[in-house]
Every structure is written in structure tokens, then in C-alpha cells.
Structure 1
Amino acid sequence: MQTTSSPLPRHIAIALLVTVACMFAANHVSARLAFDNGTGLLLAILTRSGVACSILLTLVILKRKRLWLPRRTWPWQLMVGALITVQSLALYSAVARLPVVIALLLTNTFPIQLALLTWLLGGPRPTLRQCVIMGIILLGLLVVLDIPAWLIQAEALGSDWTLGIGFGLLSAFVFASALWITEHRLSGVGSTLRSLLTMQTVFIAMLAGAALGVVPGGMNLPENSQGWTGLVLLAFLYGAGFSTLLICVPRLDMARNAPVMNIEPVASLVFGYFVLGQTLGPVQLLGGTVVVGGIVILSLSKVR
């Protein structure tokens, strides 16, 4: 008899991962739609994390899991929650200032930062092949960001562009740090419970930030129906995608299929064009292709 943990047929697993990646891409486009129509940053993250918490808590109850962590893991779990809080703020701040696809390409440099962080903290040194791939990814990213034009016309682009790049890279760094802690300090904690505690930390941090007024206008309500649509969609899409991935991951053979998730920037480019009218030039599209291709190859090389 086939067990519930048996892998799904690969074409179904890939279809699910593509669907989840598209949900995450649509979530970011919805966030930009919400921000462009007056929605506060903290409100967006608070709504998203609240929906995710509700779904995760339901899963924990249905699976009858204990809400308990080994004593020595609590500090690490709190640190992961804090890092994901910063990552959420940085990513949405980048999305609010840059074309969505560029913000996601910056964030998706986390595999490079994770490899370097692992090496810095005593892990294996990246191989020559991995270093070459990382260099190609960075070159592609320079093309996407159109750095020469940016240096020539920095005034035209404005300070938001610089801040957006900084937030995108910060998002990648803190996410890589959270992944390192998860792998090396929290590997014995169940993924559902770990995710629930992480989302609860984000939710509580957003409530505290709102109460203290740390982000001016952070709790502003949407100004119109488009803003409300963006807010509702970003919460629903993130919650649906996150829970689908979490429920199905034991059967998705992630070691083989995880690189499929890198379709997210491509999907965001399509959604961003139709919903927001955001476009990239031909050279930037070429650079984006190099970045996504390099990340896929890097992921496959790690699998091997």
C-alpha cells in the first residue's frame, strides 16, 4: 500500500512547485499594488503573518503536535523569528521602491550569501565551479540593475532606487542567516511548529512596531478599492502558497525539484507587466535570465 509520505509523480510535484512559486510572485505584485494605493508597510506584513499564523495553528491542531521546543533551541527560534521579521520588512521595502522582478532577483541572491556565510562559519569552502557560477550571477545582476546607467543618471533615479537595492540585498542576507540557523541549530524541530513560532514572532513584532510607531504611516489603511484588493490578495496568496508548500513538501522530493521555485522572478515579471505595467529593457531581461539560470545551476550543483 502506498503511504502518505511517498513522493508524488514528478510532473505533479513540479506543477505544484510552479503553482506555489507563482503564488509567491503574485503576492509580491499584490503588495506593490497595495503600497501604491496607500497601504502601510506594517499593516501589510501584519495581515500576511496573521493569515499564515491562523493556517499554521490549524495544521498544528489537526496534526496534534505539541507546542513545545527543547529548552536550548528557544533562543535560536526567537532569533530566526527576528530575522524573518527583518527579512519581511526589507523585502516589502524593496518591492515598494523597485520593479518587483528586480527586488526578487536581489533577494534571490541568498544562495550565494548562504554559501559564503556557511564557509565563514566553518563549513565547506565553495568549489571553484560554484565560485564561477556565483560570479556569473553577480554579473547578470549588474546588468539587470543597469549599473552604468544608474551611475550616469543617479539623480534621475532618485534615492529610493539606492534604498531599494540595499533593502533587497539585506533581505537576502537575513534570509540566508535564518536558513543557516535553521539547518545547524533547529534541524530537530518540526517544520510546522518552527514555521508557526516564526510567524507568531513576526506578527507580535509588527504589533509592537505599530504600537510604538516605529514606521511612520506603517498602519495606514488602503486609500481605495485597488489598495484593499492588493492587501487581501497578498495575505491570501502568501498564506495559500506557504501552507501548500508546507503540507506537500514531504512528498515533493525537494532535493531534485527545489530549483523549479526559481521561476518566481519570471512569474513576477509577467504579473508585474499585466497588473502594474512594469517592464524591463531587453538587456535587463537578458541579465535576469542569466541570474535565474545561474541560481538554478547553483542549486543543482548543491544537490549533486
Structure 2
Amino acid sequence: FWAKKRKKKLVSAKDVFYAIDKHIARHDLVEEKIQDSILENTLNVDVKGFKVGQVNGLAVYDLGDYSFGKPSRITVNTFIGSKGIINIEREAKLSGRIHDKGMLVLSGYFSQKFGADMPLSFAASITFEQSYGTIDGDSASSTELYGLLSSLSEIPINQGIAVTGSVNQKGEVQAIGGVNEKIEGFFRICKARKLTGEQGVIIPKANVQNLMLNEEVIQAVKDKKFTIWSVDHIEDGIRILTGIGCGQKHKDGSYTEDSIFEKVRLRLVEFARLSRTFNKNLLNDKKTEEKNEEEE
């Protein structure tokens, strides 16, 4: 159509790109409104700085004729308890079955990694902030795991990096859908707030073959203003997000000093100690109270 309108006999790349741009312009109203909400801080998404237990996840909105990526803030709080990982979306009945499965798989990896040498006495609440509809899919399970590791280790995550990818029980990062839309969606937010050269997206290595990004993103990557990292394991991703490695496991169950995993392990040990001390004191108080009642 556009080639004919320009009175050309052959369709050129210029005509194709122009047609794509026009298609987007006809359907991207919802995307523009969401981006405006983020830029106005109505929807909270950070693209710079470091935060503990907070990471940018990526979702795809499919409108039929058009789909686009949207970053979402995922937060994790950890504390003493026995409930393990609490999926707030599931508790609120806003979680689909695949998302529930992803959380259980995440829990399986975490329990195997840190619960093989000691009982786990902790609780963690994980949620998509400012999300009021149903969440489904497991493409954020690696993102949620990064947030969990950050919260327990108290090591902050780079907010200029967004993450997508599902994780299996061995910690391997698996392929997801909508990788191009997710990257481009986060790029547009970063660009609107000014590219710093430290921003980017972590994707599964298996999705590299699916990349077909627009020219603007490709040029930004070439100019080193935006980065796309591909990883095949959780340990690679957390190193990119925090700048600190996971460490090697020793025979006594500990990890390399000052590593992410060692800080997580020590926090879990402290939680267990505090829980045991509290329960012991509670039992002693109860016995003392019963003894006093008998004497009276």
C-alpha cells in the first residue's frame, strides 16, 4: 500500500518499516497511557539506583492486533516464621495456575539450595506491586527468586536492570515468550527517563535466537547506552544485578565468604536461632506461670 502510494513498483524496507510504524500508531493508546502513568510516578517503576528486595519484572499485554511490554515492580519481604514463601497474588486469588506452579518450583530450588543442611525457619512475602488483575505465567519466577535472594542477603539490586525468565528446580533459567516486546517496553521507559548506559534487560540465553528488536534499541545497544544480557543460570543473573557472586559451597555447608549465598545462609541461620530462642523463652515463661499458679 505505502509503496504504491509513493508510486514505487517495488516494496522497500522503508515501506515495511513505515507500515509497521503506522500499525503501532493505530493500536498503542493503552501502552502510551501506561507509560505516562509510569513517567508521572502513578505507577512506581525505578530505572536507576539500588534497592534491597526490589526488582523490575516484565510482562506482556496482548491486545489482539498489538502487544507490548510493561515493567512491573516486584518486592520481597523476609522475616522469621515457618510459612516459607508466601505468594500474595495466590492468597488474594489473583494468581493463575502456571504462576502458582512457578512459585512452587522457585521454592523447590531455594529449599534444595539452603535446606539440605539445616531446617528452614523463615517466611517471605512476594508480590507484584500495583497489580489489580490476575497474574499468570512463570516468566517472572527468576525475577522473584532474585528479589528473595536480595532480601535475605540484604544486598541491593540495580534498579536500572529489568529481568525476565522462568527458573527450574536446578536454578536454570528457561525460555519465555514475548522477549522482544518486554525489552522494547523497558527500553522506552528508560529512554523517556534518560538512558544512563547502565540500564538493560536480563533474558534467558535460550531466547537470544528469538530477538528481533526495533532499530532504536539495536542502535542504543551498539552505542553502549543499553545492554541485553543473556543468562542460563540464576547465579549468572544475580551477579549482574548485584555485582556480587554467589560463591562456592564448602564441605561444611557454608559458601565463599561475603558471597550472596553465604549471606543468605547466615541470615537463615540467624532466623533459626532467634526462632528457637523465642520458643524456648516462651516455654519457660509458660512453665513459670503454671508454677506460680500452683503455689497460689
> TM over 0.5, yes or no?
no
* Bigger fraction of residues in helix: 1
Structure of greater Rg: 2
* Bigger fraction of residues in strand: 2
**TM-score normalised by the chain length of structure 1:** 0.27
**TM-score normalised by the chain length of structure 2:** 0.27
